[in-house]
Structures are given as structure tokens and as C-alpha cells.
Amino acid sequence: MSGFVSFVSSGPGDPDLLTVKAVDRLQKAEVVLFDDLSAGPILEHAGPEADLIGVGKRAGRASPKQHHVSQVLVDHAKAGLRVVRLKSGDSGMFGRLEEEITALKAAGIEFEIIPGVTSASAAAAAAGMPLTRRLTARRVQFITGADVTGDLPSDVNMAALADPAATTVVYMGKRTFAGLAARLVEHGLPGDTPAMLAEAVSTPAEKLTRYTITSLATHLETTSSTTPALIFYGPLAEPET
């Protein structure tokens, strides 16, 4: 008899941001496959007998291949176990959720998806700013700054990304933002457009730093860090007054 898989969104790192349903599934799980950013205090909600398996991927580090992660998920569910696939942030936001769902469907395994707080919402809250604003920011767009090769995606809609009336949040974009910023300026976005670098969101190491898109590009070109981060730019990422 097949088991059941719960895709549990762990939020950006602060265990207090877990939903009640997420905690319930962690407590009942027999196996937890977790991302690197979901480790630490969040795993304390798992039962003492649960088998904890790290399957996280981090840029520039040796990481399990996606097909291997999907197969491990299927194998444990086929053994009749209650499995939690613990994903950082919201599981549907740049989290390879679709590949794992496809594998489960092919194996005839039932699943559920438990949404969570994405790091963009947590970072905006920490900065004390909304993601939308009447008249000046009626649209929010979340993008990835890296394709499967780690480079800036070649098919991005630059007209949309250079829209001065949109709040844009770039996930996984530290290594490619300098190139993106240059293209944004070429497409008419002013170089002094406000930007914010949000690092280690909702953890004790959280750091929010204000820039312009030009100064942030320079900063990221001249520094190196493995700290997970988001980049905001647009009318909401304004310097504090």
C-alpha cells in the first residue's frame, strides 16, 4: 500500500512563521526530506522517530540531483510511509515542486501541498514596507535570476522587468544581478532606481541593505557571499527617511 506525501512549506527560516498545518504534518511524518534552508529549529517539530534526510541544493556546492530526490521521495512513499517533503519558503515558488509532483503522479502516489510564507513577503515585512502601493506600484513580479546553468535566463521579458511602476523581487540573483542591472538601464530603468538586498531573511543573521540598482550591481560584483538573498527593486525599495 502506498504512503502519502505532504509537500510542506517551511517559510523563510523563522520557525514561528510555520503554519499550524505544517507543524501537524511534521509531527506525524515518518520520513522528512528537507532542504538546507529548512534545517535547524524547524526540524525540531518532527517526531523523535522520524527519519530525517537532507536533500537540499545550494549554488556552488555538491548537491543531490533532482531525479535522485524525486526517486527517494517515491521509494519512501511506496514503502507505505507518511512522508514530508520540507521545502523552504513557499514550496511553489522556484522550488522544483513540479518535477517532484510529476514523479509522484507517475508512481500513483497521492500528495498534498501546504503553502507557506515566501521569503519575499517576510523580507518586505522585516523592512516595514508593503509590496504594493496605490498609484505607484500596482503590480508585483517575482523572477529567478538564474536558469539551470546558473546564468541569467536569456528569455526574460525586459520590458516588464524595466517597468518603473512594478515592484520586482529577484530570487537567486546575486551572481547575475550586475548583468541584469545593465540590461535594465539599457531598457530605460533609471540607474538610481531604489533597490534592497535582503540576506538570510527571518533568521538571526538577517541583513537588509539599501542601494540603487547601479550601486547594488557594483557591490555584488566586488563581493562574494554564499548567504541566501533576495533582491528588491522598484518604487517600494526606498531608502528609509
CATH number, position 152? 3.30.950.10
Start-to-end CA distance of the chain, whole Å, equals 60
Q: What percent of the chain has pLDDT over 70?
A: 95
Residue 212 sits in the same domain as residue 180 = yes
Residue 171 sits in the same domain as residue 229 = yes
User: Which one of the listed residues 21, 24, 57, 78 is annotated catalytic?
Assistant: 57
Which cell numbers hold the place of 163?
Answer: 517597468
Whether 192 sits among the annotated catalytic residues: the reply is no
Residue 47 has a pLDDT of 94
Q: What is the mean pLDDT of residues 152-172?
A: 94
Residue 92 sits in the same domain as residue 146 = no
Residue 139 sits in the same domain as residue 226 = yes
Residue 211 sits in the same domain as residue 105 = no
Please give the residue range of the domain that contains residue 222: 119-233
Confidence of residue 192 (pLDDT cuts 50, 70, 90): very high
- Is residue 22 exposed (0-12), middle (13-18) or buried (19+ Cβ within 10 Å)? buried
What CA–CA distance (Å, rounded) separates 191 from 176?
16
Residue 70 sits in the same domain as residue 163 = no
User: Which one of the listed residues 35, 87, 90, 174 is annotated catalytic?
Assistant: 35
Residue 241 has a pLDDT of 46
pLDDT above 80 (res 57): no
Residue-wise pLDDT tens digits, 100-141: 999 999 999 999 999 999 999 999 999 999 999 888 888 999
The three-class DSSP label of residue 139 is strand
Query: Does 138 fall in a domain?
Result: yes
What CA–CA distance (Å, rounded) separates 176 from 166?
20
